[in-house]
Amino acid sequence: MKFYLYNTMTHEKSEFRPLNPEDVTIYTCGPTVYHYAHIGNMRTYVMEDVLVRALRFCGYGVRRCMNITDVGHLVSDADDGEDKMEVGARREGKSAWDIAKFYTEAFMKDYRALNCLPPDILCPATEYIDEMIKLALTLEKKGYTYATSDGIYFDTSKLPDYGRLAGRKHIEGIQEGARVALNSEKRNAADFAVWKFSPKNQKRQMEWPSPWGTGFPGWHMECSAMAMKNLGETIDIHCGGEDHVAVHHTNEIAQSEAATGKTFADYWMHIRFLITGDQGKMSKSKGEFLTVATLPAEFEPLAYRYYCLQTHYRKQLEFTWKGMKAAQQGLTGLRTAALRIKKEAGTPAMLNREAEYFKKFASAVSEDLNMSAALAVVWETLKDNQLPTADRYAFAIAADTVLALDLFKETVPATEELPEEIMSIIKEREQARKMKDWKKSDELRAVLMEKGISVKDTPEGTEWKKI
Ligand code: AMP
Ligand code: ZN
């Protein structure tokens, strides 16, 4: 089945032509695990998951690699400032390694709660240091790097087409802005570190020996090395949030292509930001943000997935509680329709790929992931009483392989018995609420979420349901 994808590199939507349709390679930049991932980050992962599912739905074989950035992502994009992992370690009085472990697990929990498929390859940067050093050595041999007192830098002026992903003008703007804070040893403002030295007289928690001295890899280096090691020198699709276009992905391209002489990625997909009306862009460094685990109990994590599916990934998405309520209602309504059909039909018919509704759904999905249109087709079809229920049932099963909304999940009535351990947490939480200990109450709600129970506070007491 034909598939169309917008490519940031060419600024146009075109037919997707992978190197091998049976093994489409996708690299998606993963989380920097120094803090929880917020729902903005999760928008990006949900849409990347939709891409993988949509391609599989359309008959492609997909191999997806996602990294975990557990070292080297500095506070400033200009290769200055502290490593975010060390910031997290100081904030919580733990080791950087413990911080990485804790937030990787927290991330994976939220990721799974949104029904995102586990990547075929999940790679923490700290396990690929040798590959990063090897890549930096290749660049050095080819004359692309130079040393300063704080690291080994990539000389962007050696590449005539440096910055082509974001557009030359955009890069010039960045360079102009960066000049003010320019590290004087850099030859060009856009040059970036492929290897940073540990600060003199200070032992970093995460550091490794290298031919240039003890230190750690540059953040961009991590993704280039892991993508090429796991997926090959040219990959089909590289994804990330829109903020990665101008610096991170631009620099991944520069160093990968300088090393191999080959195109690094044929298609670049970027997801626009989730924004909040009052604060603008949602950001981890601002400290206060919403995560999937801390969504109020009235919302299922999958209601957030539904929220994301309603807006095209190339449009900014504004988060509002009103919108979130509507998404939860939408999800519940769609499930009610799906469950009714399942009950009536008993067994699904053979999936009819020639049916108008199937073709409409497939063409929406393959048209640069037009998920709001795809969702509308599912609504229409499930409600169309002219169609045999067994056919609609088969279609809903097929559509849910892309939507991943658990369309046939039944909400368990609150009368069901819960294990004693969970009941006692619910009671402890009720107690905390009576004492107005909102922090503890929130923490216990997160614990219950992890155990698959969402709670809602009503004047009559706590209501709960399995998620
Ligand atoms: P980070 O953990 O900061 O490295 O970011 C993880 C992913 O989330 C990257 O692909 C970012 O581009 C993306 N991202 C960051 N902020 C947002 C946001 N507000 N909305 C959507 N995606 C975001
Ligand atoms: Zn990356």
Q: What is the pLDDT of residues 92-102, one digit of tens each?
A: 888 888 989 99
CA atoms within 13 A on the CB side of 410: 7
Q: How far is CA 401 from the centre of its chain?
A: 19
**Atom of ligand 1 lying closest to residue 69 CA:** 4
List CB contacts of 53: < 8 A, sequence separation 6 or more: 117, 401, 402, 404
**Which residue's alpha carbon is nearest to atom 15 within ligand 1?**
41
Q: What average pLDDT is seen over the chain?
A: 91
The residue assigned the tokens 């280096």 is 221
Whether the pLDDT of residue 177 is over 70: the answer is no
Question: Looking at residue 181, what is its pLDDT?
Answer: 54
C-alpha to C-alpha distance for 381 and 393, rounded to whole angstroms: 10
Closest CA to 300 of 137, 82, 128, 453: 453
Closest CA to 195 of 233, 226, 149, 243: 149
C-alpha to C-alpha distance for 68 and 342, rounded to whole angstroms: 40
Identify the helix (H) or strand (E) that includes residue 302.
helix 301-309
In the structure, ligand 2 is a single-atom ion and the residues with CB under 5 Å from it are 29, 223
**Which residue's alpha carbon is nearest to atom 22 within ligand 1?**
41
C-alpha to C-alpha distance for 297 and 295, rounded to whole angstroms: 6
Whether the pLDDT of residue 390 is over 90: the answer is yes
| CB of 273 closer than 8 Å to CB of 38 | no
Q: Per mean pLDDT, which range of 78-87, 323-332, 413-422 is the poorest?
A: 413-422
Indicate the DSSP class of residue 281: E
* Backbone torsions φ then ψ of 269, nearest 5 degrees: -115, 125
* Backbone torsions φ then ψ of 183, nearest 5 degrees: -65, 120
Closest CA to 36 of 294, 273, 270: 294
C-alpha to C-alpha distance for 250 and 220, rounded to whole angstroms: 9
C-alpha to C-alpha distance for 301 and 252, rounded to whole angstroms: 33
The residue assigned the tokens 């107005």 is 436
Question: Looking at residue 459, what is its pLDDT?
Answer: 63
Compute the distance from residue 224 Cα to the ligand 2 centre, in Å: 8
CA angle 457, 461, 466 (to 5 degrees): 60
Closest CA to 43 of 323, 373, 372, 309: 309
Whether the pLDDT of residue 194 is over 60: the answer is yes
DSSP reduced 3-state for 98:
helix
Closest CA to 191 of 216, 168, 218, 224: 218
Q: What is the pLDDT of residues 236-286, one digit of tens each?
A: 999 999 999 999 999 999 999 999 999 999 999 999 999 987 656 666 665
Token code pair at residue 420? 């004693």
Q: What is the pLDDT of residues 399-414, one digit of tens each?
A: 999 999 999 998 654 4
In this structure, whether the domain defined by 17-275 belongs to CATH 3.40.190.150 is answered with: no
| CB of 27 closer than 8 Å to CB of 235 | yes
C-alpha to C-alpha distance for 48 and 267, rounded to whole angstroms: 13
**Atom of ligand 1 lying closest to residue 244 CA:** 12
**Which residue's alpha carbon is nearest to atom 3 within ligand 1?**
32
pLDDT average, residue stretch 418-430? 86
Helices in 155-246 by DSSP H: which ranges?
168-179, 219-231
Cα-Cα-Cα-Cα dihedral sign, residues 209, 213, 219, 222: negative
pLDDT average, residue stretch 182-207? 86
Compute the distance from residue 40 Cα to the ligand 1 centre, in Å: 6
Whether the pLDDT of residue 454 is over 90: the answer is no
- Beta-strand runs (E) in 90-168: 121-124, 145-148, 151-154
Residues within a 6 A CB radius of ligand 1: 29, 31-32, 40-41, 43-44, 69, 240-241, 243-244, 271, 273-274, 281-282, 284
DSSP reduced 3-state for 247:
helix
**Residue 269 burial (CB < 10 Å; 0-12/13-18/19+)?**
buried
| CB of 214 closer than 8 Å to CB of 4 | no
**Which residue's alpha carbon is nearest to atom 14 within ligand 1?**
41
* Nearest ligand for residue 240 CA: 1
* Backbone torsions φ then ψ of 12, nearest 5 degrees: -145, 160
Name the pTM for this structure.
Answer: 0.87
pLDDT classification of 225: cutoffs 50, 70, 90:
very high
Whether the pLDDT of residue 433 is over 90: the answer is no
pLDDT average, residue stretch 5-26? 98
